[in-house]
Structure 1
Amino acid sequence: MNQHPNQVQAYQPRQQVQSAQPIPMPNRVGQATAVEQSRAVAEVQAAIVVAQQCPRNISLAVSQMNESCRQKGLADRAFFRFPRARQTVSGASVHLARELARCWGNVQYGVSELRRDDEVGQSEMQAWAWDVQTNTRSSSTFIVPHKRDTKEDGPKPLTDMRDVYENNANNGARRLREAIFSILPQWFVEDAKELCNQTLADGGGRTVAQRSAEAIGMFEKGGITRDQLETKLGRKTDQWTHHDIAQLEVIFTSLQRGEVTRDEEFPAERITEEHLKAPTKQPAQVTGDKSEEAGR
């Protein structure tokens, strides 16, 4: 059957298009929530406008980074140490990452707890960092179990609210550190780490002997002897350098924060089969009147 040319329609295959499901919304939104939503949108828009109108000055950012990394207060907190798989992992800390983000400018970052499930015992969290000027963003969504690993009893459930908060904060800080470092230029981060190492090695103008005495005194208060420190560094006290003492300062700070334990950094000396087979020294014989007194 012929159709009139005006009635001819192009053949189009039928497509089954599923209608988008509406996003569930709360039945009632309070005034404070509505104001906060509007404020958040306006804040993001304002940050983008300001970043475009006031772009960062890289020379000024480098100058601010140099000034910050020369401060011993930052250098003392710029690195971390913690055990993993019978090894010690070390690197730049979240404190250094936050300071570098401030120096670089036009950077926003944060950690959010998206959902907490006390019945299952876990929290869904997100860490993010955003370079507003270049629109470079890094984010990570992760699950944090409400547990803490222990060597004696394995994973231990956390029920106290403060313990859960601190556990979430520690895990969030690690992801936040990586998010910030991922959007910063690599050369900027490496220069900052080198300057912090130099600040630790300098020691505020004090001599090696002065810093050695202070380091030994700090560790002895915690029950760690000079011999253990010498074993850790692999050299005697009179051979220590500024870099050796800087390493001890990082270890001491990590011990105070609880990132590592005393046994992990300074394990007890193991008694081997050679020690057991080694001949014992016989006490020297005492002659004269003292031997007679010892025999009485």
Structure 2
Amino acid sequence: MNFPVQQAQGPDRIGQQTAVEQSRAVAEVQAAIYVARQFPRDVGRSRSAMQAACGSMALADKAFYEFPRAGGKVTGSTIHLAKTLAQTWGNIQYGVSEMRRDDEYRQSEMQAWAWDVEANTRHVLTFVVPHAKFVKGKVEALLDLRDIYENNANNGARRLREAIFAVIPDFFIDEAEELCRETLNKGDGKPIEQRVEGAIKVFQQLGINADRLEQKLGRTRDQWSGADIAQLLITHKSLQRREIAVEEAFPQARITGAEITSKNGGGRKQGPPDDDPWAGQPTK
């Protein structure tokens, strides 16, 4: 009795589900291009939408980041601003995904991309994220799944920001950043005195007193301007997002010989450090 011989599946053959997914992906791309050409972006309308978004404190308050590097600081636009500009510019698709995770080598291969469907311009970034973090001058491995996820998400957001900005015209980005800074400088319509007090209060919740704020800005609180408050807001958001540590943003001042006053001196008296547990206690 003869039985039919089943031929081995060759490498050029694919499963039915894979074929369906490939066809769906091709149809989705074709549909996106067709819709973008049928409804092209109106630059004037896009600018109006961008100006309205950047004129609100809700966006301006989280539009910039700040972190230390090589003895200085690096500032720039956040992923929040990038996504808003992609939405207002229109006809842009973007995303980030983890393509492969290797637990043996403790790393993830990821991809971030942005595609201007109307102009058919695509920017893709493929990168490897180690399952580790740099803490106090040392590299520490990440073992908890949640820590690995958050580390991948943070790295993916930075690459996604770069990809989005790569497909949006520079003039559009520059105008948005300038408007966000103007919004921060103006504040929410409150007098400058109230804004100063509000800034001092939010930093006090982080254990940072007004003296350290004055030291950072190089001016006393009665001389602060709207730009100074805006800079403090950027620093505060970076602290909340854990992009910078308190010690890095507000380093303790060093005491020099000229600042040490004698009992009969007329200079400013040097008070105890903020972390002195015996501050304000009478001596016996």
TM-score, normalised with respect to structure 1: 0.82
Could you tell me which residue of structure 1 aligns to residue 278 of structure 2? none
Gap runs ≥5 in structure 2? 1-9, 266-284
Q: CA deviation at 1:201?
A: 1.1
Number of the residue aligned with 1:71: 56
Superposed CA RMSD in Å reads 2.0
Find 1:159's aligned residue among 140, 143, 151: 143
- Residue 121 (structure 1) aligned with residue 94 (structure 2): no
Equivalent of 2:84 in 99, 102, 127: 99
SS in 1 for 2:187: helix
Are 1:184 and 2:171 counterparts? no
Please give the per-residue CA displacement for 1:51-109, whole angstroms capped at 9, x wherever unaligned. 11111100100010011111111111100112222321110111100000000011111
User: Deviation per CA, 1:14-48, whole angstroms, max 9, x where unpaired?
Assistant: xxxxxxxxx957x87464x5544332221111001
Counterpart amino acid of residue 214 in structure 1: G
Equivalent residue number for residue 4 of structure 2: none
TM-score (norm 2): 0.85
Take 2:209 and 2:254, find their aligned partners in 1: how far apart are those partners?
17
Q: Would you identify which runs of 4 or more consecutive aligned residues in structure 1 move more than 6 Å? A: none
Three-state SS of the structure 1 residue aligned to 2:143 is: coil
Corresponding position of 1:42:
27
Work out the CA distance in 1 between the residues paired with 2:162 and 2:261: 55
Report what 2:214 is aligned to: 230
Secondary structure class of the residue paired with 1:204? coil
1:15 matched residue in structure 2 = none
1:198 paired with 2:182, answer yes
Q: For residue 59 of structure 1, what is the aligned residue in structure 2?
A: 44
Give, in whole Å, the separation in 2 of the partners of 1:30 and 1:261: 52
Deviation (angstroms), 1:183: 1.0
The one-letter code matched in structure 1 to 2:262 is: T
Change (3 A) 1:164 1:30: farther
Tell me the number of residue pairs that the alignment of Structure 1 and Structure 2 aligns.
Answer: 256
3-state SS, counterpart of residue 206 of structure 1: coil
Alpha-carbon spacing, 1:28–1:49, altered in 2? closer, same or farther (3 Å)? closer
CA distance in 2, matches of 1:184, 1:234: 37
Q: Which has the higher helix share?
A: 1
Alignment of 1:280 with 2:262, yes or no, is yes
Kindly indicate whether residue 179 of structure 2 is the aligned counterpart of residue 168 of structure 1.
Answer: no
In structure 2, the partner of 1:266 is: 250
Match in the other structure for 1:256: 240
Larger deviation: 218-227 or 94-103? 218-227
Q: Rate the CA distance shift 1:30–1:271 in 2: closer, same or farther, 3 A.
A: farther
Percent identity of equivalent pairs: 55
Q: Secondary structure of 1:77's partner? A: coil
Please list the CA deviations of residues 239-292 of structure 1 after superposition, one character each: whole Å capped at 9, or x if unmatched.
1111111111111111111011100011112244x269x563269xxxxxxxxx
Alpha-carbon distance, 1:144 to partner? 0.6
Find the aligned partners of 1:207 and 1:35 in 2 and give their Cα distance.
Answer: 61
> Residues 258 and 105 from structure 1, CA distance in 2 versus in 1: closer, same or farther, beyond 3 angstroms?
same
